[in-house]
């Protein structure tokens, strides 16, 4: 980040750089089409795999949502 005056960066760059939401000029909102998703291809038939179902459950849990909000604040918008 020291090489540029302004940049568009993903969260994978912002967090390690120590950037916070209050330093941002713009943060994408909940309606952004560029959200991270948990996905698989139909031919793998993993949608109902117990491991994937558990991962989805954990990602959507109140505890995970609270952790995300407490740890990253407005830089990360939980899915629910």
pTM of the predicted structure, to 2 decimals:
0.63
Residue-wise pLDDT for 2-35, tens only, equals 677 777 787 778 888 888 888 888 777 778 787 7
Residues 6+ apart with CB under 8 A from 13: 1
Instruction: Give 47's pLDDT tier (boundaries 50, 70, 90).
Output: confident
Do 2 and 20 contact (CB within 8 A), yes or no? no
CA distance 76 to 26: 13
Using CB atoms within 10 Å of the CB of residue 26, give its burial: 0 to 12 exposed, 13 to 18 middle, 19+ buried.
exposed
């Amino acid at each position: 980040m020291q090489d540029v005056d302004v940049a568009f960066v993903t969260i994978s760059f912002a967090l390690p750089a120590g950037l916070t939401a209050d330093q941002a000029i713009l943060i994408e909102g909940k309606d952004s089409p560029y959200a991270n998703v948990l996905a698989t291809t139909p031919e793998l038939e993993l949608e109902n795999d117990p491991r994937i179902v558990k991962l989805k459950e954990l990602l959507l849990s109140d505890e995970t949502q609270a952790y995300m909000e407490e740890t990253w604040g407005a830089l990360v918008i939980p899915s629910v």
